[in-house]
Amino acid sequence: LMYEKRRAGDDVIDLGMGNPSDPPQEVVIEKLAEAARDDDNHGYAEALGVMSLRREVAAKYYRQHGVRLDPAREVLVCLGSKEGFSHMCLALLGPGDTAVVPAPYFPAHLYAVAMAGANAITLEATDCEKYLANLDYTCRHLVPRPKVAIVNYPHNPSTTVVEADFYRELVKLARKYGFMVISDLAYADVVFDGYKTPSFLAAPGAIEVGVEFTTMSKGYNMAGWRVGFCTGNAEMVRALATIKGYYDYGMFRPIQIAAIVALRQTEAAVEAQARIYQQRRDVLCDGLERLGWTIQRPKATMFVWAKVPDIWAQRFDSFEFAMKLLKEANVVVSPGAAFGPAGEGYLRLALVENESRLRQAVRQIGRCLGKVGEE
């Protein structure tokens, strides 16, 4: 419908997908072009990723989280974190196994488990203490016990964040019940108001029980480049490398070379980009609050997870309400139920348009719902 409307000349504001709309830094693009002109860079690259990129990832983990990693055994480059995550599920899980998936769920978290032929148990992830209690309960009562727990904080879609204590408790449970942990830390670089997201790998003993995925898609505006990393437990990293060896053969070397430059030289731009998302968050949240919506301001991610106001939730489910906003307000949002039943009653709005477009989106939503936003 969005494309139909656009073809018909409607100006549709797309806040549906977390697809960054700003470009990477010029120096990174220049490096890509320069490396692509080198004849030596067009063959198969090292399957695990070029060593200097893996070293750079290890250096960033130390700077950002105080975590020491061995780039040779504990860091692997993947074709976007989603590819690495899905293949890790394939490496670890099979029929008869169970994985715990956060709910509401980022679709890949559920479907990677399903595609591996394993069972998924979803546990509500928006209250992290309750999540740990439920995980403990599940491990005590489920036979066989879950083999893997997937965690994703800052959480997409709900934007829930955790503190370091959460991971300490998670590692204790993993040791007690013998499950492995996959942490998806996609939003490590998109944090607001001075909040710093902890890394699972910084928890004592974490490296014995799990891995963490990070990405250059969000903070570095390199989503289309497909650069992600798997870090942590060497055996799990090796299992992923084995599976990947059957499916792909590493990443185009010029991309890896440009990624090194991005990690080395563009940290200030990553911080500036987070401030841009923070300002957009404020514009969107202020606007929706003026329309009478109750909004929890996110401390991280590039999303606002907005509860559908009661008067509308009584009449429409989240799919119907999102469709109404598209049809009548020309604004695309993701319905909460697209992230499973736990997302019903919510909408996810991505901060991928600039501030004036976000103001316009609020005005259009206000008009469509019968209340005109100020400005």
Ligand X SMILES: Cc1ncc(COP(=O)(O)O)c(C=O)c1O
Is the backbone peptide bond immediately before 198 cis, with ω within 30 degrees of 0?
no
Asked if residue 135 lies in contact with residue 179, where contact means CB atoms within 8 angstroms, the answer is: no
217 binds ligand X (CB under 6 A): yes
**C-alpha radius of gyration, the chain, whole number:** 21
Instruction: Please pick, from the candidates 152, 231, 256, 273, the single residue that binds ligand X as defined by CB under 6 A.
Output: 152
Comparing CB distances to ligand X, the nearer of 270 and 369 is 270
199 binds ligand X (CB under 6 A): no
Site map for ligand X, 100-119, x if CB under 6 A?
------x-------------
- Residues facing 102 on adjacent strands: 123
Return the sign of the alpha-carbon dihedral for residues 57, 62, 63, 64. Answer: positive
Comparing CB distances to ligand X, the nearer of 50 and 223 is 223
336 binds ligand X (CB under 6 A): no
220 binds ligand X (CB under 6 A): no
Asked if residue 301 lies in contact with residue 188, where contact means CB atoms within 8 angstroms, the answer is: no
186 binds ligand X (CB under 6 A): yes
| E strand residue ranges, the chain | 13-14, 75-78, 98-103, 119-124, 148-151, 180-184, 210-215, 228-232, 303-307, 331-332, 334-335, 346-350
Comparing CB distances to ligand X, the nearer of 82 and 357 is 82
- Neighbour-count burial of 315, counting CB atoms closer than 10 A to its CB (0-12 exposed, 13-18 middle, 19+ buried): exposed
The maximal CA–CA distance of the chain, rounded, in angstroms, is: 62
Comparing CB distances to ligand X, the nearer of 198 and 373 is 198
Eight-state DSSP code of residue 199: P
> In the bound complex, what is the minimum distance in angstroms from residue 38's beta carbon to ligand X?
26
340 binds ligand X (CB under 6 A): no
18 binds ligand X (CB under 6 A): yes
189 binds ligand X (CB under 6 A): no
Comparing CB distances to ligand X, the nearer of 162 and 369 is 162
Instruction: Please pick, from the candidates 126, 158, 199, 215, the single residue that binds ligand X as defined by CB under 6 A.
Output: 215
Residue ranges that bind ligand X, judged by CB under 6 A: 18, 80-82, 106, 152, 156, 184, 186, 215, 217, 223, 228
